[in-house]
């Protein structure tokens, strides 16, 4: 193995891609790009019992949406393929034989019933059942049986292959973020490496593939930290050079307590998958469908566990590639803040061209059969753009430009209206009708003068007119809004509120 940086994202196709997995993929990708290295995607699908149809496609499509393109993977191939573990059976057969011949793994013929019986006995004594050097000779395996008996059993019955954990040893491992980690071998299982169906377990396939694919750095979630000692021992058993291990801190719930889950997304109403997950049982909208930009999603996730060391928060993917460094990773969990997530999206929407926003708005207007003047769309989009937090909000933020309000905010109505309101609104109608040049400047002057003449506070006048035009006190610049809606429609809306108040 040369010194080239090679990293991988190795998801299991057991369901949709969680944003925690997306962040792991992102950090691997950024590290590779920063160091002119290679980013691989490997599908770890050896556990066919947990395989979920459509999951692999969801994972790969999610990465594609975010702009995280693998240099090697199941879709584009590479020199180290195949990139699905289910297609690498011969590789695992070869290496399990090597491990057995080295005396670092052994055949075990114990039945499920025998192991369950032993487990229950331990539970009665308040102990945790562990199959290792402390008791493995009392079980039915190639260490306790003669070679002749072992050979017969291999031919006649199902067996697994277990790793032979060292006896009474301290396993000293290293993690880039956490430094030295020491594990006593007496608390470690002789993990099953090969199952009865002749397929490898995650641990064995993971280590073999990382070595065969020349992975230099293993960047994965903190939940894999308990597996580090076993993986470390497997590298030593094969006498292979170990990669550097980096276990990323957890993404925490909005409360800051516990790992973020899909239930948290359901509870607080934020997406937990990059793109829509759809199967026979459920349809769950992802970031894309909820109106988030891929660039904003990536930006937000990058800052969950990584700190650039400056006050800068807004990054493009290319800027993240240039600035990413393992040295700036945090070693403590990062709290998921849904509001901050939306804030990032709002910032990135401001970088979008108005033509993109116009396309989104126009497609919605057509779908809803709403009449519109295409010449006015650029001005409308320009007005509401600073208010857009999610792409899905564009239509609702613009609706009052095309349709009069169906209702009026009751609280605002009660606060702003009195006996004189109707007469005042009718006066505004007349003034607007008489306006020869109906633009925002003249509209503003008209409303200011009418406020003075009527002895009303200008803020109240604006509130009343906004209520008539929009139905709420929120919205874009009022004078420009009225200009775009046009004299005829504006006069009608103000007159409608006056009639409503009679």
Instruction: Take residue 114 and report the two structure tokens written for it.
Output: 């025998």
3-state SS string for 351-404: CCCHHHHHHHHHHHHHHCCCCCCHHHHHHHHHHHHHHCCCHHHHHHHHHHHCCC
CB atoms inside a 10 Å sphere around CB 467: 24
H helical segments located in 158-283: 202-212, 228-238, 262-268
Distances (CA, A) of 450 to 202, 445, 461: 76, 8, 9
Strand-pairing partners, residue 244, are 217
Q: Contact at 8 Å (CB) between 238 and 98? A: yes
Burial of 83 (0-12, 13-18, 19+ CB in 10 A): buried
Residues sharing a CB contact under 8 Å with residue 443, sequence separation 6 or more, in sequence order: 432, 435, 479, 482, 483
- Helix axis angle, 294-302 relative to 19-34, nearest 10°? 80
Active site residue 262: yes
Q: Contact at 8 Å (CB) between 51 and 57? A: no
Instruction: Take residue 356 and report the two structure tokens written for it.
Output: 């993109």
Contacts from 97-100 at CB under 8 Å and sequence distance 24+? 98/238, 99/161, 99/163, 99/193, 99/237, 99/238, 100/161
Which residue reads 């994965």 in tokens?
220
Q: Contact at 8 Å (CB) between 336 and 304? A: yes
Instruction: Take residue 342 and report the two structure tokens written for it.
Output: 């939306």
Rounded to whole angstroms, how far apart are CA atoms 384 and 475? 8
Q: Please name which of 345, 373, 339 lies closest in space to residue 358, comparing C-alpha atoms.
A: 373
CB atoms inside a 10 Å sphere around CB 252: 19
Over the Cα atoms of the chain, what is R_g?
32
> Of 34, 244, 259, 262, which one is the catalytic site residue?
262
Contacts from 313-318 at CB under 8 Å and sequence distance 24+? 313/344, 313/347, 314/344, 314/347, 314/348, 317/66, 317/67
Rounded to whole angstroms, how far apart are CA atoms 497 and 502? 9
- Active-site residues, by number, are 262
């Amino acid at each position: 193995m040369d010194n080239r940086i090679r990293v991988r994202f190795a998801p299991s196709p057991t369901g949709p891609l969680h944003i925690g997995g997306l962040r792991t993929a992102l950090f691997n990708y950024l590290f590779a790009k920063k160091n002119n290295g290679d980013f691989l995607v490997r599908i770890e699908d050896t556990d066919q019992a947990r395989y979920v149809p459509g999951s692999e496609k969801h994972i790969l499509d999610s990465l594609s949406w975010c702009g995280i393109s693998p240099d090697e993977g199941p879709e584009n191939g590479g020199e180290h393929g195949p990139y699905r573990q289910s297609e690498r059976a011969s590789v695992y057969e070869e290496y399990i034989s090597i491990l057995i011949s080295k005396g670092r793994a052994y055949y075990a013929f114990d039945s499920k019933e025998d192991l369950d019986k032993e487990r229950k006995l331990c539970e009665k004594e308040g102990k945790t059942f562990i199959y290792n050097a402390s008791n493995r000779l009392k079980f039915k395996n190639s260490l306790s049986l003669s070679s002749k008996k072992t050979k017969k059993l291999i031919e006649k019955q199902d067996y697994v292959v277990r790793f032979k954990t060292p006896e009474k040893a301290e396993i000293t491992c290293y993690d880039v973020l956490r430094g030295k980690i020491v594990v006593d071998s007496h608390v470690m299982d002789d993990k099953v490496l090969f199952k009865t169906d002749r397929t490898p377990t995650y641990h064995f396939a993971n280590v073999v593939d990382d070595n065969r694919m020349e992975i230099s750095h293993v960047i994965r979630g903190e939940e894999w930290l308990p597996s580090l000692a076993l993986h470390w021992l497997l590298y030593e058993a094969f006498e292979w050079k170990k990669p550097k291990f980096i276990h990323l801190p957890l993404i925490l719930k909005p409360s800051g307590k516990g790992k973020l889950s899909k239930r948290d997304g359901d509870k607080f109403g934020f997406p937990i998958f990059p793109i829509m997950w759809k199967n026979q049982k459920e349809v769950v909208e992802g970031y894309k469908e909820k109106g988030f930009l891929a660039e904003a999603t990536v930006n937000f996730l990058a800052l969950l566990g990584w700190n650039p060391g400056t006050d800068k928060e807004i990054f493009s993917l290319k800027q993240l590639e240039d600035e990413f460094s393992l040295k700036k990773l945090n070693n403590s969990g990062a709290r998921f803040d849904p509001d901050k997530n939306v804030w990032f999206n709002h910032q990135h929407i401001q970088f979008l061209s108005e033509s993109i926003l116009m396309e989104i708005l126009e497609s919605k207007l057509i779908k809803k059969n709403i009449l519109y003047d295409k010449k006015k769309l650029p001005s409308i989009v320009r007005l509401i753009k600073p208010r857009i937090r999610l792409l899905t909000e564009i239509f609702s933020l613009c609706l009052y430009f095309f349709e009069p309000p169906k209702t009026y905010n009751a609280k605002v109505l009660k606060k702003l209206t009195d006996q004189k309101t109707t007469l005042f609104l009718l006066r505004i109608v007349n003034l607007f009708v008489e306006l020869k040049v109906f633009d925002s400047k003249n509209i503003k002057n008209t409303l200011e003068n009418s406020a003075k003449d009527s002895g009303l506070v200008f803020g109240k006048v604006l509130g009343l007119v906004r209520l008539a035009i929009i139905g709420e006190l929120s919205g874009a610049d009022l004078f420009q809004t009225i200009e775009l809606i046009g004299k005829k429609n504006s006069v009608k809306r103000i007159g409608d509120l006056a009639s409503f108040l009679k």
